[in-house]
Structure 1
């Protein structure tokens, strides 16, 4: 069946293609880092809440620390996600808007779900009445949002499915569940988020000088286990995802395209180096330096996998006949303003994180400022 790709927009692009692509990669990487901390952190926090109810003091303290961090992480995820979506729309709006319309009500549902999760995170952070079950609800909501996003991002690179989906139902209630890429792509994202969430626990334990030295060591090793186990699972899921790709795209990634193959190989090697560094640090009596190496390698892995993901998207869309707009009328003023505001947003987020890290532990002098 001939793919149905909408005609070119009657408006020019506001910047050169290379700049829009670079800004998409930058903002999406920042968004994914924050998003992984939210999604993975919510899963880790839910498990710790459950174990804390069985009387484990370490899990009680960890769930408290993660709960305090969650509102900041959610706000960063949303702010950076808006920027990434703007550049995605500029480059791929014709297929992105079509896929969003086909599953419109599910896509619209993301906004109220995020609002509910955000307010719930504040309730957990400030220990309001009835917040005991909220960590489970927060994790479930973010998993649901992740599934909706995965569905849309998978559907937009399958324009050959647009006509059939609309013919089946034009009410905006359809999900593209039959796509063989959907489940492994969703699980790949969730496992990766849990791995980054584990690294977040490690970073929180090392940077936030709350609790005893024994607790910080326990939290570092606990986060390391989350990271290692999730990464091992993700290797198998990644192989599944590669196997679900069309043959031509797969061949491009495993040798036909030298650059794409090198990026994928570097990402796999970087993931292995991250696991080795994190596990070595977990066994060390002075793990700080090795943990720092592991976190750095983990961030490099994230960036390389995002580049691989982008190559998959461009290859799949090119095979379907999609071509980006060539009419360009640069608007350097708005682009400059965006650049300044992005820098300000990143600096403010870093300041919030630093403030959270330096916050005194409960019961210490000055803790009453942050503790309800």
Structure 2
């Protein structure tokens, strides 16, 4: 088992061995091919590989895995379900580790969420005799995260936003908040990791505007993140995203095509660049006499034009000007919030 795990971690950290991009690997990429290694471990039966047969309920998906288990469905796993039913079990074992002392469920599932789902579904739909073939490993949380990430880079059904958010949580949980340390452990460049973390920080309202989580990409974040960092634009973008999400829900209810990701991005950008309506100019008065005009400029700037004659009460003018400026500040803070 020790040599098997060394090979796995060598695939993660080895030069050129891991897929480098922010998205899922494509067929033919020289990734670790974790499934092939797991299947090979079963065939060889060497090095004390601890294969056990479990009921799906005996393992719970480890909380450091980015796969969104509630989104697994029989339809999405249909071909896998049929394959496991035909072969009488999962040919490629899942990867588990023993849960901590006192845990109600004895194992944590590190790799193989879809296989666990498929066997569980079959158990409840006519094949109660099937068991989940599992390989037991002894790894730390950080090692478990790297293994799960290695598998999920090969999966097209892991969305970039889910992977990115798992990275965001992992930076603090496993790497002390040091991005460069995490990037090195995962064989990513610092810039690639930073791009993924920016995607993870998109507001949920913006995420919900897209037709599906799987269609939200790092490239979308690269456009939206700089705009969302500007307080005067953030509110407009989020308001537009909420409106788009409502349209998406209505289209779903009416069985109409959803607004495509490219169109969503265009609408959000347009909301950011649209010129906001400006308050009307304010006339400044002092002692019943018009002494100037105050206008709201770009970026919260206030322009004041004064025309002061010799008979103007200066104290009255300053009081009026101070009052109007305080009002303008309050209005600006309200709009920013």
TM bucket normalised to smaller: under 0.3
Q: TM-score, normalised by structure 2?
A: 0.25
Greater percentage in strand? 2
Structure having greater relative contact order (Cα 8 Å, sep ≥ 6): 1
Q: Which structure: larger Rg?
A: 2
